[in-house]
Structure 1
Amino acid sequence: MTLQPIKSTKSGNPEFDEASQKELAKFLEGENAKMRLQQSIHTFTDLCWDKCITKIGNKIDRGEETCLVNCVERFLDTSLFIVKRLEETRNQ
């Protein structure tokens, strides 16, 4: 990213031209999307780990593995359902 300030304001903060502002907004939107994805991953990792892992050992047994897979899939299904429903509501 090559944002070049046009000038500094009295407070010392730089002012950017319109193209730079759009580039910065696009960059920030991408970073926010990454942050939301990471938060979701942490959320379902914590939730599913607590729900499925019953004993700490060297290996995850088959039942725990199946539980983790199902838990994550249900979490993703639910998240997608909610997003779609919110989009439908917003478009009405």
Structure 2
Amino acid sequence: MSQQQQTQAQGLESFDENTRRELQQFLEQEQTKARIQTQIHEFTDTCWDLCIKGQPQSRFSRGEQACLANCTDRFLDASLFIVKSLEERKGQM
């Protein structure tokens, strides 16, 4: 257990069981949000590097627009596929 987790656990001991559960759930949700935000930034960087060549102008070219749209669509398709697969696995357990 990391030092941060130990400190959190010690701080949670002063609360009743329901409050501890709510706080733990809140922390897990915030950590999930942070992971998703990190993934979005990585995705944005990947699509930008793939689609935008040279210095960006005041507007994207047609090719850049099409590339960004395609990159975004593929990312969303892959994300939905992964979520559905995980839900199916969870349902089978």
1:29, distance to aligned residue in structure 2 (A): 2.2
Aligned residue for 1:42? 41
Structure 1 residue 61 and structure 2 residue 79: aligned? no
Structure 1 residue 80 and structure 2 residue 80: aligned? yes
1:57, distance to aligned residue in structure 2 (A): 3.1
TM-score when scaled to structure 2? 0.74
Aligned residue for 1:29? 28
Structure with greater proportional helix content: 2
Give secondary structure in 2 for the equivalent of 1:54: coil
- Tell me the percent identity: 55
Alignment partners' CA distance in 1, 2:43 and 2:16: 41
TM-score when scaled to structure 1? 0.75
Alignment partners' CA distance in 1, 2:18 and 2:89: 33
Matched residue count: 80
Q: Which entry has the higher C-alpha Rg, 1 or 2? A: 1
Alignment partners' CA distance in 1, 2:36 and 2:65: 22
Alignment partners' CA distance in 2, 1:18 and 1:74: 43
Alignment partners' CA distance in 1, 2:77 and 2:70: 10
Q: CA RMSD in A?
A: 1.5
